[in-house]
Structure 1
Amino acid sequence: MTLTVSAVIATYNRGPELRIALTRLMAQTAPPMEIIVIDDGSSDGTGAMMRAEFPTVRYIRQPHNGGLILARNFGFVNTTGDCILSVDDDSWFEEPDGLARCVAHLQDNPDVAAVACNIETRDGLVYFPKAAAPFDVPWYVGCGHLLRRSAVEKVGLYMPELYRQGEEKDRCLRLVGAGFRVVALPGVMVYHDKSEKGRKPGLERFYNHRNDLIREVARCPAPLLAWRLARSWAGNSWKNLRRGPRLTDLKVLLALPEILRIGLKHRAPVGVEAYRRWLHLAKTAAPSGASMEKPLNRKPLSRPAASRPAAAERPSPARSE
């Protein structure tokens, strides 16, 4: 029996981009059996667009902005598919059979809990070599992945306190700890338009640093915890320093009581062997070594014309507010 698929898209004030994402998703050769859009309090007319143009899509508007992770958790518990597809409101499969190929891989490999699609950004950067065979990775990217529901139910939902970043790493570490695999499918391309709406680099740096520390407190085995906390702090501080003087480290330092409280609240460390395996994958299989913030290929790559949205449907780049 073929696995069924539900799709979850969280959105906030990206109506034009969401229109493209939904249109492309619904045009897949094997589209999801259900699609749910969680609107995190948009004020740009997204609701009116959804009601007028996508009446078959389940649209839920949250009364306030609760964050991306809370929206994804909400979508997971309110869908019924054997698999959960996650794409962003500004991302879509480049090929019409992309989703079908992801489902086929989960169907054929019962030990795989998640497949990570190959992400290509608007500036032409690509996360994995396109011709590579499937291989194990330490985490997927939120804007393009497919999850096996039964595996996620064993390890639990995302930590809502992470708010907006780092949830993929934490869940995948738990999946590895539970004996599952996370596999990259380099030939399945997802284009990420990376809309500038709502992106705040300073906030992203803060949450990257903060949430890495929370993950270590929550998941790292006790014998390795002190070393990993120091390593995580030093690594993130160095990345921030390379981008110029920042207040991020000071903000994270002030947030340490909160970091410890959240991490200890969710503390359920994985085994030492599983944790070391995950670290090894983070060093050898993740783009740019230990971070998916920078793709593997540094030189811009051209995309096939067929994968690009038509000029009329592509939104113009928006300025950050």
Structure 2
Amino acid sequence: MTLTVSAVIATYNRGPELRIALTRLMGQTTPPMEIIVIDDGSSDGTGAMMRAEFPTVRYVRQPHNGGLILARNFGFVNTTGDCILSVDDDSWFEDPDGLARCVAYLEENPEVAAVACNIETRDGLVYFPKGAAPFDVPWYVGCGHLLRRSAVEQVGLYMPELYRQGEEKDRCLRLVGAGYRVVALPDIMVYHDKSEKGRKPGMERFYNHRNDLIREVARCPSSLMAWRLARSWAGNSWKNLRHGPRTTDLKVLLALPQILRIGLKHRAPVSAEAYRRWLHLAKTAAPASAPPERKPAEKPVSRAASRPVAAERPSPARSD
């Protein structure tokens, strides 16, 4: 049986980028049977563009900005495909058969709940070594992955309180805990143009730190909780110390009551065995998280309509 695919794209004030993403997606050799775009309150004319240029795409404009994760949950419960494709409003498959190959892998491997595409970014980062055989990873990347609906229905939706990031790690930990696999497909490339619109490094670091702690409270077995909370705090604090802003840790500290409340609300720990297996993958097979070193004179180049040239990494990156 051929699996059907629904595509979910969340957007916010990125009309021109969304146009490219949709055009590329609809040009796949086997496009999704349905596409839903959830507009998180854009004010840049995205709605007018969608009505004029993409009348066959379902377009839903949220009345207010509820966050990326809430939008993705909305898309999941309002689509019907056997698989859910997630791409960002500034990402797309580099090859016209990329989606078809993702679907074929899920059809051939029923124990796999999600496939993580290889992400190539405008700043020269390649997440997985090109040419490698498929291998298990601890999480997928939000801008390019395909999920098996039945597996997601078993473990549940994203925690909406995470708001904007970190949801992939939490869901994949739950999938591993339920006995599923998450697999990287290094030869299926998704180009992420990484639009600067809406990106605030300080906010991203805050939510990375905050949401890692929420995940530990919600999913970590009690026997490992103290160690993991300390490890998560130390690792993120070191990143904040190196990259700033220095006030991030203070903001996270002030958010601790909220972190505990959200984590305990969703608490459903996985087994210690599954958790240790996930930690091992996080140390050995996690997607890369920082661009390669560049010469001072080199500048990143955006290639919105062509295949980018990117530096390859010799092995899967380690993660803190």
Q: Structure 2 length normalisation: TM-score?
A: 0.92
Q: Is the 8 A contact 1:119 1:126 kept in 2?
A: yes
Change in CA separation of 1:119 and 1:298 when aligned onto 2, cut-off 3 Å = farther
1:192 and 1:299 map into 2 onto residues whose CA distance is 19
Q: Does 1:143 align with 2:143?
A: yes
Secondary structure of 1:8's match? strand
Match of 2:198 in 1: 198
For the structure 1 residues 299 and 145, does the alpha-carbon distance in structure 2 shift closer, same or farther, using more than 3 Å as the test?
Answer: farther
Letter in 2 for 1:294: A
2:188 partner letter = V
Matched, 1:294 2:290: yes
Aligned residues: 300
Note the 1:178-189 alignment, pairs <5 A. Answer: 178-189=178-189
Q: RMSD of aligned C-alpha atoms? A: 1.4
Q: 1:226: Cα distance to partner?
A: 0.4
* Matched residue SS, 1:183: strand
Give the match for residue 176 of structure 2: 176
The unaligned stretches of length 5 or more in structure 1 are 301-306, 312-321
**Corresponding residue for residue 153 of structure 1:** 153
Taking the aligned partners of 1:309 and 1:182, their CA distance within structure 2 comes to 30
The answer to whether the Cα contact below 8 Å between 1:125 and 1:299 also exists between their aligned partners in 2 is: no
Distance 2:107 2:287 in 1: 26
Against the structure 1 CA distance between its residues 245 and 146, is the aligned structure 2 distance closer, same or farther, given a 3 Å change threshold? closer
Aligned to 2:17: 17
8 Å Cα contact 2:214/2:263 also seen in 1: yes
Would the aligned equivalents of 1:287 and 1:294 in 2 still touch at CA under 8 Å? no
- What is the distance in 1 between the residues matched to 2:293 and 2:262? 36
**Which letter does structure 2 place at the counterpart of 1:8?**
V
- CA gap of 1:48–1:247, structure 2 versus 1, over 3 A, is same
> What is the alpha-carbon distance in structure 1 between the residues aligned to residue 293 and residue 95 of structure 2?
23
Separation in 2, partners of 1:284, 1:87: 25
Counterpart in 2 of 1:36?
A: 36
Q: Which amino acid aligns with 2:118?
A: N
The answer as to whether partners of 1:176 and 1:182 remain within 8 angstroms in 2 is yes
For residue 313 of structure 2, what is the aligned residue in structure 1? none
Q: Does 1:7 align with 2:11?
A: no
Q: Which residue of 2 aligns with 1:236?
A: 236
Structure 1 residue 246, shift from structure 2 partner:
1.1
2:59 corresponds in structure 1 to 59
1:201, distance to aligned residue in structure 2 (A): 0.4
Per the normalisation by structure 1, the TM-score is: 0.91
The equivalent residue for 2:221 is: 221
Letter in 2 for 1:248: T
Instruction: Name the structure 2 match of 1:280.
Output: 280
Is the alpha carbon distance of 1:146 and 1:299 closer, same or farther for their aligned partners in structure 2, counting shifts above 3 Å? farther
Specify the alignment match of 1:316 in structure 2.
none
**Contact 1:86 1:144 (8 Å CA) reproduced:** yes
1:264 is matched by which residue type in structure 2? L
Q: What is the deviation of 1:287? A: 3.0
Q: Which runs of 5+ in 2 are unaligned?
A: 296-302, 308-320
Q: What is the rounded CA distance, in whole Å, between the counterparts of 1:299 and 1:102 in structure 2?
A: 32
Whether the aligned pair in 2 keeps the contact of 1:94 and 1:308 (CA below 8 Å) is: no
The alpha carbon displacement at 1:298 in A equals: 5.2
Q: What SS does the aligned partner of 1:216 have?
A: helix
* Contact preservation (8 Å) 1:13, 1:44: yes
Instruction: Report percent identity of matched pairs.
Output: 89
Partner of 2:305: 309
Change (3 A) 1:184 1:299: farther
| Secondary structure at 1:76 match in 2 | helix
